[in-house]
Each structure stands twice: as structure tokens, then as C-alpha cells.
Amino acid sequence: MKSGRRHLTALTSSQLAEYIAAAALEKKAGDVVILDLRKLETLTDFFVICTGDVDQHVRAIADHIEREMRAHGERILHREGMEGLNWVLLDYVNVVVHVFRPSFREFYRLEDLWGDADARPVTHEETPAVTGKPGKRAVKTAKKPARTARVARVRAKSTNSTPRTRPAKKKVKKTPKSGS
């Protein structure tokens, strides 16, 4: 942490960048990159840059990052771009998150602009699990493949049996009300 900046929680800036990258990947963000700016004279330690395909995807990524970091005790200092959803900026003091639509990321090319920074692409295999207790890296379990196998068996059963039809609606005769 650089002097003169306040640090809000026990997470270091590099841990925070890792957790943010993991949260972005949980929402299927594309091309997640962490730029290490600590060797440069900047106001922050890290940029986390990622891409969302459409505006709803950009919103989902940004909202998920905020929710997960709040669960880890990290408060956001500033949020910008939630109206247009082309480039959303989330400022966590030592880590600044940029969630782009593909055309805006290509136009602004922050990785090239900050070319002197160490850039590291992030994948699912190397990210910490975001959910759970802060500071602990959870091992991903094999529950998803088992679940998908179970779903495949259920679907296979349903296609082999007779097709499902809706039960016929019961016709109810309406009796006219007697007038007084």
C-alpha cells in the first residue's frame, strides 16, 4: 500500500484485485486482466479490467463485484457509468475496476495506455473462491459435473418415456344467479 492512502479492510490490494477478478469471472466476464500499477506513479495499485457482452451483462458483473466485496468488508468509494453501461468504473481506492462493453474496451485500450504496467490475464483455474470466508482459498468441488450428469439422466428418461401432456381443464358449469 502506498503511503497517504487509507486502507479500509484487512485485505491487501493484491488480494482485493484477485477477489474482484474472481467475482467478475463468476458472472462470466470476458478477458479479465489485472494491471499491477504499483511500480508506476499512480493513484491506485491495481486495475482490474473485464468485458461484458451486453449492457445487462455489464450491470450483472458490476453488481456482483459490489455485492461480493461488500460481503468481504470492502466499501466502494465511487461508482460511475451505471446509466450508460458501456464503461462502468468501480473505485475501491487501491483497486479500480473497469467493466467494458467490447467496442468501448477496444476503443479505449487501457492495457495499451498503461503498457508499462505488468498485465496478467486471469482465468477460472487461478482465482480464489469469492464466496465463503475472506482470506481462505476454497477448493472448487466436483459438484457441477455430477449435477449435470444427473440432469442429463433425467432428461434422457423423460425423452424415452411418453410425452408429457397437460391435464385437461375441468369444465365448470356456471349457474345463473337468481335475482331477488
State how beta strands 46-51 and 30-36 pair: antiparallel
> Is residue 81 within 8 Å of 89, Cβ to Cβ?
yes
Residue range 13-123 in CATH 3.40.50.970: no
In the predicted structure, residue 86 carries a pLDDT above the cut 70: yes
> Is residue 116 within 8 Å of 35, Cβ to Cβ?
no
Average pLDDT over the chain reads 78
How is the chain split into domains, by residue range?
Answer: 13-123
pLDDT greater at residue 176 or residue 124: 124
Name the range with the highest mean pLDDT among 31-35, 137-141, 151-155. 31-35
In the predicted structure, residue 3 carries a pLDDT above the cut 60: no
